[in-house]
Chain A
Amino acid sequence: MTAEIIIIATLASLACAIPGIFLLLKRMALISDAISHSILPGIVIGFLFRQSLNTPYPIVGAVLFAMVMVITVEALNRSALVKGDTAIAIVFPPLFSIGVVLVSLYANNVHLDTDAVLLGELAFAPFDRMMLFGHSLPKSLVKMAIILVMNLTIMLLLFKELKVSTFDPVLSRSLGFSPSLLHYLLMFITSVTAVGAFDSVGAILVLAFMITPTATALLLTNSLLVMVLITFAISSASSLLGVLLAIRIDSGISGAITTIMGLFFITAYLFSPTVGVVTKIRNKQRIALEYALSIVLYHLLHHCEEDDMETECSYGHLRLQFNYSPRYMRKVVHTGVRRGLIEQIGEVFHLTESGKETHVDTFRLHH
């Protein structure tokens, strides 16, 4: 049972990650949140149609409502009556509200309660089973596997097109790919994935599954391919660890998986070798010193051939000149002296010959 839950969670998180990568890169991460909320009325209506969640109707209804949301948002943005995210922010709440109202109106004869829809519950997934090729499998497992295969196929087939249209829509159009066709394709797979992940992950955390692993990968690499691989690795690892954590402390599964994803993100934010906070602080100190040294060198080169040398190049003046603490200023000058770039004659500092050369080099580097 645990194994089945882990497999379903992994399939769901991988399936969510694929549209998530492109949504985040296209700076429209929150449209996935809007989609996962807007599909609720579609699911409910589709459900009421046949009194079951296991027919295609809820999926069709959900995709229809997602498209209504996307098209309305775009029409609003084109009208210029509202700006930026405002369109999203005013369109998805009423759709979601209609869903909630429908659920509460038919609450008596519907096996669909808001808690389950919003928060999801993976723990029950293995109980709902079907027969496939002579094996008894959980329905969610089959459903998520199909969606994952669909997303993977689309991504592999259109990797180049998606990449170009994500990073450079204008180039993409001139190459003959229709960016709006790709956009709607992305919206389509986002909504199908959201419906699929709905009952296991819950509407709210679909967003987390879609963008948190990707955002983590974005902090670690600049290459799209590497990003995809890291995203998959984080999604799978979070699913495994999340399910184990949930079982260990007896909590909900999607919350646990999201928490693990969050920990991955925080770790990358702090320790990413390129943009992590810790790396940044260390680099900053190193670069700041180099930089301070180079502007001191520049100042000495600029002023110390002139007659005001005595006043401009004394230690006291340097300290007044730059907004550095006395201790830091001393450190900067000492670094220069130690490297043989600066020499002190009496109260006044001079550039050595090698200091002049070094400076010219750093200066050229900056231009």
Chain B
Amino acid sequence: MSLLYDLFFDYTLRNVALGTLLLGLGSGAIGSFMTLRGESLIGDAIAHATLPGVVLAYLLTSTKDPLLLLSGAAIAGILGIGAIMGLTRTTKIDSDGANGIILSIFFGFGLLLLTYIQKLPDASQAGLDRFIFGQAATIVASDVALIAIVQGVVLLTLILFFKELKSSTFDPQSTTVMGFNRKIIDAIFATLLVAVIVTGLQTVGVILISALLVTPAAAARQWTHSLKTMVILSSLFSGISGMVGSLISATEMNLPTGPIIVLVLTAIVVISLLFGSRRGLVIKKVSQYRRQGHFDERRILLALDELSRSHDQRGLYHSHHTISLLVGERHSMRRLLAKLVKEGAILKEGDAYLLSKQGEATVASLALEEVHHDR
């Protein structure tokens, strides 16, 4: 209860929770498009590439105004994403390699600058490295306002251009033929991505921001076959994880916020991979099991049909043993036989079975279905 009380009345906690919630809403949404475009690691590369932008902005202006530093980060991020696209287009380096090289060069250079200014006598640079690791606790109301505005604009743009982004992600060529300029759509996507990443730097840092983009999207994908639902779910997963994570990290143990948010997100993705209603592993196993059962039932009926025809005398009961010789031994045989008896498809006498009238009809319809299928 006290946690809930703090959420409303503790200034820092309220800022952190609200900031991470809003950040998650935007990151989950744009992250869905990023993963569907097959560029899951580009967010990681761009996040690292923002570092020299932050430090240079500070070096050039000597102020720590977040708006200014984040503008520097955004410029570096845009340069980074442009360089990645350029490298993959003009050299034999693949997208993995291009992501890695741009990440390395930009981050390495940023680190050179950061360590350089850290040793300058002027102490006012202290705290710039929070952009690397993220320090949610340092968020103030004006930061939350900035996050709110940026995420608001991002979500609004996504809603406006949802149709264009969707179509070009699914089938870029046809979208171009229909008259939508691919470069404009790519530019919209890149800008939104950089905007979300940059506003997440202060809270979760360059290393973990990519998880806020990819993980909720991968989780959401397991629950739905609709892009709209996926984007909304992903956005909610990320937002809720942000808030829950920052609340957990605010307990006595004083855990770092970014990593806790990532762990909450990971719990969601694990649950989704296992139990996701559309593709989750458990659902897959259950339906596989059901299909196998259904298949075996049909085989029992067909076996009984064959047996009754191979004997001159109709109406003979056949033992469990004979049936399993034809169908093959199954653990589930007894259960399936009992089920068929209950459904009235077969008749039982002792340990022997016979097709009922209803069962014969089923077999006849199965045969028809097969002909239809072959055709």
Contact = CB atoms under 8 A, between A and B. Distances in A.
The answer to whether A and B touch directly, with their CB atoms under 8 angstroms apart, is yes
Interface of A: 24, 27-30, 32-33, 37, 76, 79, 81-86, 88-90, 93-94, 96-98, 100-101, 104-105, 114-115, 118-119, 204-205, 207-208, 211-212, 215, 218-219, 246, 249-252, 254-259, 261-262, 265-266, 269, 275, 277, 280
Contacts of B269: 90
Nearest to B42: A85
Contacts of A32: 100
Main secondary structure of the interface of A (DSSP, over half): helix
21 contacts: A27-B96, A81-B276, A85-B38, A85-B40, A93-B215, A97-B258, A105-B253, A119-B111, A207-B103, A208-B105, A211-B97, A215-B97, A218-B91, A219-B91, A251-B112, A251-B116, A251-B119, A255-B112, A259-B108, A262-B109, A269-B91
Contact of A249 (B40, B116, B207): B116
A30 B42 CA distance: 11
B116 A30 contact: no
A27 B210 CA distance: 20
Contacts, number: 199
A205 B108 contact: yes
Contacts of B107: 204-205, 208, 258
B222 A255 contact: no
A93 B210 contact: yes
B79 interface: no
Given A29-B96, A83-B38, A208-B105, A97 B259 contact: yes
B76 to A, nearest CB: 14
Nearest to B269: A90
Interface stretch (B59-67, B169-177, B260-268, B354-362): B260-268
Contacts of A256: 112
Contact of A265 (B105, B218, B254): B105
Contacts of B38: 83-85
B40 A252 contact: no
A115 B119 CA distance: 15
Interface in B239-261: 253-256, 258-260
Contact of B91 (A115, A119, A275): A275
Q: Which of B99, B115, B129, B133 has the most CB of A within 10 A?
A: B115
Given A84-B40, A90-B266, A101-B263, 13 more contacts: A81-B279, A82-B218, A86-B40, A89-B214, A93-B215, A97-B259, A97-B263, A100-B256, A118-B133, A119-B115, A218-B91, A251-B119, A265-B105
A30 B96 contact: yes
Interface in B60-119: 87, 90-94, 96-97, 99-101, 103-105, 107-116, 119
Contacts of B215: 89-90, 93
A40 B211 CA distance: 17
Given A211-B97, A255-B108, A258-B111, A33 B35 contact: no
B346 interface: no
A252 B214 contact: no
A144 B255 CA distance: 33
Nearest to A209: B104
B333 interface: no
Nearest to B112: A255
Contacts of A86: 35, 40, 214, 217-218
Nearest to B37: A84
Contacts of B14: none
